[in-house]
Amino acid sequence: MSTALHEAGLDPFWMPFTANKQFKRRPRMLAGAKGMFYTSADGREVLDGTAGLWCVGAGHGRDEITQAVSRQLAEMDYAPGFQMGHPLAFEYADELIKHTPEHLNHVFFTNSGSESVDTALKIALAYHRSRGEGQRTRFIGREKGYHGVGFGGISVGGIANNRRTFGAWLPADHLPHTLDLEHNAFSKGVPAWGAHLADELEDIVALHGADTIAGVIVEPVAGSAGVILPPRGYLQRLREICDKHGLLLIFDEVITGFGRLGAPFAADYFGVEPDLITAAKMITNAAVPMGAVFVRDSIYQSVVEQGPESIELFHGYTYSAHPVACAAGMATLEIYRREGLFTRAAEMAEVWQDALHGLRDCPHVKDIRNLGLMGAVELEPRPGAAGARAYEALADAFEHGLLIRFTGDIIAFSPPLIVEREHIERLVGTLSEVLGRIA
């Protein structure tokens, strides 16, 4: 640890989503990163099983991005985005829509997934209001859904811990989640059972009245809650019910966007076109914070083209379309194009699936789930100590050169899209040893 850090101590930094006291007693520090690996502060190589926090798709330390960012900083560090523009933002939006679903050709820039979710919810409200349906104010999310930490996102989200202290302030209701180990344990890829769970949306619509509901927001594959897959036909069914009742369908693709499943977006992978897509992770390869909302043309037409001559949407962030983020995003797209990263996960999916399911007979394993380059290994909780096993696995894996994520007793993986077979073998080999060591 550096002398400066030693003197400063760990106390002032209030860490996000971290057990602060526990961490500060026994810190896990990262100091460098290149390709598939981190270097820990004590000089060990750590395989990145999670692409940072699901966000470093092209691997760490990409020179093209570093150069694009430094060039942009030298040329123009910042440009105001309200009533002013800079050319790169327009060029970048134009490049992005080459990769978005057919009818989603407008981009609103944010700085994070949480801001993208807030923005998408607001655009949905603005859309209905623009059509004289301002009474459509309710959103339908899903149990176990994670939509970031804004007050909008925690209201539509379905993770109890994220709202317990803060409440839920938007009118919202929730679909049931789709994780059912009785029917779907150890399914490879999308499970066959459970499409009928989408029909619950009909009951929710009947309860509240379609004319009070603005839209439905779901993660096509729930990431944060532990890789929960949509049953075959489920998302199609949601789309049909939304169409029937005039509800906007929002796919929160903060995790599934930018190639995680082997197609540019989960919308492409599942063949279901939503009305809005929220994105953030991987968009700049995480080199500079950025997020985006991709918007259906008819929504833009209704709110903007048919809107007033003055500001059509009273919304935006100081750093929306920040030039340095746009530069990082452009360079990331170039790497994606050159290295085929939008579809790389499809090439690796089978190797990944076989390797992960090879852990089935390891101690404590209760379920294994996978799609594209996402995967989860769910552990049987230790009696009376839910979450303890997975936490111990994280600590032990880090000691032995592997970075993993956990939520509850679910270990989640999302390696960078550049992952090779040898990394997958090493990841699975290390995890198998870890599971053998923990009690």
Tell me the two tokens of residue 263: 């197609």
Shortest reach from residue 318's CB to ligand PLP, in Å:
3
Instruction: Give CA–CA dist 256/269, Å, rounded.
Output: 10
Is there binding between residue 114 and ligand PXG (CB under 6 A)? yes
β-strand partners of 216: 140, 249
The contact pattern for ligand PLP, residues 96-135, with x = CB under 6 A and - = no contact, is ----------------------------------------
The CA distances from residue 71 to 74, 283, 326, 328, in Å, are: 5, 19, 12, 10
Which residue sits closest to ligand PXG, CB atoms considered?
A: 113
DSSP annotation of 385: B
Distance from chain centroid for Cα 124: 20
* Spatial CB neighbours of 137, under 8 Å, sequence gap ≥ 6: 125, 170, 171, 212, 214
φ and ψ of 276, to 5 deg? -140, 145
Shortest reach from residue 46's CB to ligand PXG, in Å:
16
Report which secondary-structure segment, H or E, holds 297: helix 297-300
Shortest reach from residue 314's CB to ligand PLP, in Å:
13
User: Closest by alpha carbon to 274, among 236, 223, 225?
Assistant: 236
Instruction: Give CA–CA dist 173/177, Å, rounded.
Output: 13
Shortest reach from residue 79's CB to ligand PLP, in Å:
14
Which CB, 130 or 147, lies closer to ligand PXG?
147
Q: Which does 49 bind (CB under 5 to 8 A by kind): ligand PLP, ligand PXG, none?
A: none
What's the N-to-C CA distance of the chain in angstroms?
30
Which CB, 234 or 317, lies closer to ligand PLP?
317
* Spatial CB neighbours of 353, under 8 Å, sequence gap ≥ 6: 188, 189, 370, 375
Q: Which of residues 298-337 bind ligand PLP (CB under 6 A)?
A: 317-319
Shortest reach from residue 170's CB to ligand PXG, in Å:
15
Instruction: Give CA–CA dist 146/258, Å, rounded.
Output: 18
Shortest reach from residue 135's CB to ligand PXG, in Å:
27
Q: Which does 219 bind (CB under 5 to 8 A by kind): ligand PXG, ligand PLP, none?
A: ligand PXG
Size of the site for ligand PLP (CB under 6 A): 3
Is there binding between residue 223 and ligand PXG (CB under 6 A)? yes
Shortest reach from residue 291's CB to ligand PLP, in Å:
12
Distance from chain centroid for Cα 267: 14
Which CB, 255 or 402, lies closer to ligand PXG?
255
φ and ψ of 92, to 5 deg? -65, -45
Which CB, 294 or 319, lies closer to ligand PLP?
319
Which CB, 18 or 135, lies closer to ligand PXG?
18
Q: Which residue has the tokens 């036909």?
A: 233
Q: Which of residues 289-328 bind ligand PXG (CB under 6 A)?
A: none
β-strand partners of 402: 47
Is there binding between residue 254 and ligand PXG (CB under 6 A)? yes
Shortest reach from residue 110's CB to ligand PLP, in Å:
9
DSSP string, 209-256: -GGGEEEEEE-SSB-TTT-BPPPTTHHHHHHHHHHHHT-EEEEE-TTT
Q: Which does 255 bind (CB under 5 to 8 A by kind): ligand PXG, ligand PLP, none?
A: ligand PXG
Q: Out of 68, 93, 170, 255, point to the residue binding ligand PXG (CB under 6 A).
A: 255
Q: Which stretch binds ligand PXG (CB under 6 A): 27-35, 67-75, 110-118, 373-381?
A: 110-118
Instruction: Give CA–CA dist 9/29, Å, rounded.
Output: 13
Is there binding between residue 280 and ligand PXG (CB under 6 A)? yes
Which CB, 18 or 306, lies closer to ligand PXG?
18
Residues making contact with ligand PLP (CB under 6 A): 317-319
